[in-house]
Amino acid sequence: MIKYFSGLLICCWLMSVTQSVAQRGHGSLYSTIGLGLPTYDNYGLAKRLGGVGAGVRSPYFLNTINPASQTSIGLSHTFIVDVDVSYNQQKITTGNETVSNNFSNLNYFSMWFRFSPKSTVSLGLMPVTIQDYSYSDTYYFEGMADKYTRIVKGWGNINKAYLNYATNLGQRISVGIRPSFLFGSFQKESIYLDQYAAGFLYDRNNSYTGVGSEAGIQVNLLQNEKHNLTFGASGQWYSKLTGMGTSRVENHVGQEVIYEAEEVELSSQLGNTVRSGLSFQNKSWTIGADVLYGFAAGDNNYSIANQLYSVGAEFIPGYFDSEFIKQMSFSLGANYDTGSIRMEGAKVSAYEVSSAIGIPLNRSSRLAIGYKYRNMGEVNIISKESLNTITLNFTFGDTWFFRRKFE
């Protein structure tokens, strides 16, 4: 086990830096609303399958969607590290211009352990919401004739650190629970410049904490040696987030503090979700479909209830086959979001298509290279946005803690 110590240190470091998922000014203009856009735990295997996961029981890969799914990992694995990173190319079109951005993210990190043939535990870190935007406009202060150019940047996210426990109840039913601690901070900078490029900076910083809980169940409706048909359902609840906010005004050129306000208490509410789905699986295929219902956040006038429809499939000719090509995986997925926010009287809908190829590194570790295209919004609302994403998902597995009969 000592030979893996350096790897564990790297994993711990990754957990410590995941809070910096959002990049300054590289993101959706729609993320200005509330605490940002929801992610719906769409990472790793779920991302390859278009966000499907309520009923998926993979024997090789972690499923981030349903807490009950993590007993499905085969007995050949006793330990798994799952990491998801991505490179993004974004295009935002408004009524005045088209802007392109490039940025990279560390999206998600999880470690999974088998406690017994029936029970597993995992812990991880992932963003729940992401806020990241920038724009500029012309601004007039009340009672003043001078025109200012306002440049606004905002970034931040709410993260959850979670502990997932799952166990089997007999041969056909599995259940899981995932308590989580929520934390995050948001920063917004507004620069006001006059015609001489002189002005001031208004800086705001808000931080939040809270708790959450998820529960899930999966039932094998049809189970035999050749294939399974599984129904899954899960629910996600978040407490009200509380925190503190600070603000100050600085001279734009010399960064001299002109005014600093006292701290204020903050509170905000995230929308809860419920999800259900079916999955058909045999030795080579995983095919699934999900429906998610997202409740509106009660303290956000722009937030509305939404539905997310997802379908996906993955094909592995032979995971343990001796031929390299047969060990590879091929995935395809898509989803449609009816829109969790309403602006200018219109829902901001979105759709995604995704694909991936999985490459074996050894018998229990793999690299999945994925591509995702996302389209969101319309110019007559705020902007029409497209996102091309290349994702690298690393799954490192091992058989630690096995008691060997021969040394």
Residue with tokens 């392109």: 100
At 47, is the secondary structure helix, strand, or coil? helix
For the chain, what is the mean pLDDT?
A: 89
Q: Which amino acid is at 152?
A: V
The CATH architecture assigned to 2-398 reads Beta Barrel (2.40)
User: Model confidence over 354-394: pLDDT tens digits?
Assistant: 999 999 988 778 999 999 999 999 999 999 999 999 999 99
Note the pTM of the prediction, 2 decimals.
0.88
Which pair of structure tokens corresponds to residue 300?
Answer: 């956000």
Output the pLDDT for position 129.
Answer: 95
**By C-alpha distance, which of 397, 395, 393 is closest to 84?**
393
Output the pLDDT for position 25.
Answer: 59
Output the pLDDT for position 305.
Answer: 96
Which pair of structure tokens corresponds to residue 117?
Answer: 């043939």
Residues of the chain with pLDDT under 50: 1-24, 401-407
Residue 4's φ and ψ, nearest 5 degrees, are: -95, 0
Residue 277's φ and ψ, nearest 5 degrees, are: -175, 170
Q: Which amino acid is at 164?
A: N
Output the pLDDT for position 7.
Answer: 44
Q: Report DSSP letters for 61-88, one per residue.
A: S--SS-GGGGG-S-TT-SEEEEEEEEEE
Domain ranges of the chain: 2-398
Which pair of structure tokens corresponds to residue 293?
Answer: 């219902």
Output the pLDDT for position 139.
Answer: 85
Residues shown for the chain:
407
Output the pLDDT for position 405.
Answer: 45
Q: Which amino acid is at 288?
A: G
Output the pLDDT for position 146.
Answer: 82
Residue 69 vs residues 40, 83, 112: alpha-carbon distances, Å = 16, 18, 12
Which pair of structure tokens corresponds to residue 398?
Answer: 């091992």
